[in-house]
């Protein structure tokens, strides 16, 4: 999994067009969203990722550690298919992203928002520019313990 974490003074998005054959169904609250003092997590699910609790908890712990350090008021999970050449296919990617969203919500003491999967979206972001405001992470499932 590849993450680009941007601590933003403000962030907003609005859905435009379908980007995959079967995008996530849109509800009113998923069509647009915004937050201030938020940690935007552009997230690319890779082909070798999985939805095991141990993997997702490592990702969530890393994200929330950054959110705490920068004193973000919320986390914004943003599906983003541009951070890796080894993409998981959409059905697998949406499953893992939704599981990550639930894991984050279960662990976070601040609100966790998300943008919908499978759509082109317009967005505005105002990066705060402090030393921890632009971070990237590559997190991979641990190899199973040697037999």
Ligand X SMILES: Nc1ncnc2c1ncn2[C@@H]1O[C@H](CO)[C@@H](NC(=O)[C@@H](N)CO)[C@H]1O
Binding ligand X (rule: CB under 6 A), the pick from 20, 125, 128, 139 is 20
In Å, how far are 56, 76, 133 from 141, measured between CA atoms?
9, 22, 26
* The Cα angle at residue 129 between residues 128 and 133, in degrees rounded to 5: 80
Q: Is 120 in the site for ligand X (CB under 6 A)?
A: yes
User: Can you tell me the distance from the alpha carbon of 18 to that of 30, in angstroms, rounded to the nearest whole number?
Assistant: 13
Residues 59-78, interacting with ligand X (CB under 6 A): none
Window of 30-38, 59-67, 85-93, 139-147 that interacts with ligand X by CB under 6 A: 85-93
Binding ligand X (rule: CB under 6 A), the pick from 11, 60, 75, 79 is 79
Binding ligand X (rule: CB under 6 A), the pick from 55, 90, 101, 112 is 90
User: Can you tell me the distance from the alpha carbon of 143 to that of 139, in angstroms, rounded to the nearest whole number?
Assistant: 12
Q: Is 5 in the site for ligand X (CB under 6 A)?
A: no
The residues that touch ligand X, with contacts defined as CB under 6 A, are: 19-20, 43-45, 79-82, 87-88, 90, 93, 117-121
């Amino acid at each position: 999994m590849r993450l680009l974490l941007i601590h933003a003074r403000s962030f907003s998005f609005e859905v435009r067009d379908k980007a995959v054959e079967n995008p996530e169904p849109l509800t009113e609250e998923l069509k647009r969203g915004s937050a201030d003092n938020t940690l935007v997590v552009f997230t690319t699910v890779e082909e070798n990722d999985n939805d095991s609790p141990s993997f997702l908890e490592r990702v969530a712990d890393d994200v929330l550690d950054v959110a705490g350090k920068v004193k973000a008021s919320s986390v914004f999970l943003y599906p983003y298919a541009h951070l890796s050449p080894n993409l998981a296919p959409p059905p697998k990617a949406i499953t893992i992203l939704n599981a990550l969203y639930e894991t984050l919500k279960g662990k976070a003491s601040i609100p966790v928002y998300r943008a919908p999967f499978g759509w082109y979206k317009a967005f505005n972001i105002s990066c705060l520019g402090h030393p921890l405001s632009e971070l990237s992470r590559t997190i991979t499932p641990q190899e199973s313990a040697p037999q």
